[in-house]
Amino acid sequence: MRSRGAIVGRTINAVVGDMKPPWVKLSTSTVGLAALDDGSIPINGREERRRGMVSRLSHTPMATTSIKGSSRHHDFSTIAKGHTTNGEIMRSPSPEVNGPSISSSLSARRAISMKYTTIRFKSSSSRGANNNDANGECNDNDNDTRTSMDDEYGAMSSSGRTYAHPTPYRLESYGTFGHSTSTLAMSSPRRISPGVLHPANVAYNTYGTLNATRDNVLVVCHALTGNASLEAWWGDLLGPGKAFDTDRYYVVCCNILGSCYGSVGPSSLRPGYDNENGGNDAIGGVPRNRLNQPIYGMDFPDVSVRDTVRLQLLLLKNELRISSIKCVIGGSFGGMQAMEYCVMAGATRRAGCQRSECDERLVGGMVDKDRVVPYGVGEFVTKRNGRIEPFVRSAVPIACGAAHTAWQIGISETQRQAIYADPRWNGGRFDPHDPPNAGLSVARQVAMISYRTPYGYHKKFGRSLTDESGPSYGSRAPWQVKSYLEYQGTKFVERFDPVTYVKLTEQMDSHDVGRGRGSIEQVLSQVEIPVCVLGIDSDVLYPLREQEELARYMPNAELKIIHSDAGHDGFLLEQDQVAAHIKSFLYSHD
């Protein structure tokens, strides 16, 4: 996550050890660099400024960040209502209204005040090579850099609360041909049942206060490599008076099923083994972590976007006892989740279901499970104001489509093939002390290209070199763009797991609101709730025509355009525009 503050003519101290991002030319003296409003520093030291953005649809002037004159920094002392302690975020730990509060804090490292203008780059040699800690989680990223076209996330953490589904969780693939675990897993006395997760745990965080009617709820969904710490990637939208107004709303953010930031996933401990003894009774060949404990690894079941969303819905209804969700919001992979919320919880009738028949589904305030198809259209409804209504009342899907296309699957597959090509991969059963980081690094580099635009790369790098005295072409040419990509890959392997990356990209590829339900047009036509679809005019990964399709097929939808040169990452970088559209939509509905 980048700061949007402006820095002009201040001291930038690059503490690099034996490594710094080589595409950035910094000295230890005072320099006169102007940070752009996306937090980046112009490569050539020249000041740049963004234009004030105007929505083509609404003609509403969007907020403009001034480069000169002020240094806006993130103040997280008021994120959670009632807690103002030394820049730390105190999450609301309980859904109880006006109940006791036992707060857990997360240091707001990403909220380093830009007025201090200290940029620190930590040497990768100081970090462990393996991405799994003793609990099988991704490493937290305490290396918060502020550089040109940097990683879109700040400090990554798996902290928060955990929901454990009380019974074995049947996945969408349960009983479906072609979805199973490995031969080893199937032949083991402790085999992993195909299509079932047990335990099924989801990490989540909450912000703000739940009202007496338990319906002032915003659900915010994260993207591919994000986590449930909303402040780490959409922090500018979170807090009193902001888009995710914690004075008005109870904000819930869940970690994706299959991730390595707290939810059950490939790096989680494998059930059924004596983990306390290091898994000494395990059958040979079972994947293990650095502590020699058996983990899922590639035997983790196939998980779909629907599986992730349905488990979140069960968390919201059964754990937090939410009566109704005001809005679900998410971008990219988070947008795909938002679309599944629309389908499963934004309708009150299935295709071909008459209103009178659908009304009979509510028995004593509960859904008649015998007449509801799991994962079906309108599975989750509620009784509100004396009427049967969708459990979700509105949604804002951003930078996504109705289904993952061949273009997007192909880009995902290219990244997976980069991991497979690493000799250390070994079919996913690699040495945990020597993981296939080279392949994961290349996969991330491919992704970083797809998230941006040709113009964005030209504007930032052109044909510039990190060393003008070096060769101007050939295998030893020190291209700035090459150094940038290599650095992003190196940084990413410090916080993520190769198997998790493979499995999560496969989960993205599962996205298709029409699968098993009918045509996309037929399914989307059943979505009754108001939907504000946001698209980015320069997005080459999820082009604008896909958001136009969503707005066209859903009967109560509108389309708004985010104007940006940043491409797909505009949903993270253009936070002023995103926030303005979200606030306007929330205030005008319900």
Instruction: Please classify residue 93 by burial: count the beta carbons closer than 10 Å to its beta carbon, then call 0-12 exposed, 13-18 middle and 19+ buried.
Output: middle
Written as one letter, the residue type at 277 is N
CB distance 345 to 379 below 8 Å: yes
| Token pair 């629907």 in the structure block, residue | 306
Q: What are phi and psi of 465, to 5 degrees?
A: -110, 155
Q: Annotated catalytic residue: which of 568, 569, 576, 581?
A: 568
Annotation marks residue 563 as catalytic: no
In DSSP terms, 465 is beta-bridged to 479
Annotation marks residue 568 as catalytic: yes
Q: Annotated catalytic residue: which of 332, 394, 483, 538?
A: 332
159's CB contacts (< 8 A; 6+ apart) are 104, 106, 205, 229, 262
The Cα–Cα gap between 130 and 291 comes to: 11
CB distance 308 to 512 below 8 Å: no
| Token pair 């991330």 in the structure block, residue | 444
Nearest to 221 by CA among 150, 315, 102, 299: 315
If you ran DSSP here, which 8-state letter would residue 283 be given?
P
The Cα–Cα gap between 260 and 237 comes to: 24
If you ran DSSP here, which 8-state letter would residue 193 be given?
P
Annotation marks residue 332 as catalytic: yes
Q: What token pair was written down for 326?
A: 């005001």
3-state DSSP call for residue 206?
A: strand
The Cα–Cα gap between 267 and 139 comes to: 11
Q: Annotated catalytic residue: which of 37, 509, 512, 539?
A: 539
CA angle 566, 407, 563 (to 5 degrees): 25
Catalytic positions are 332, 539, 568
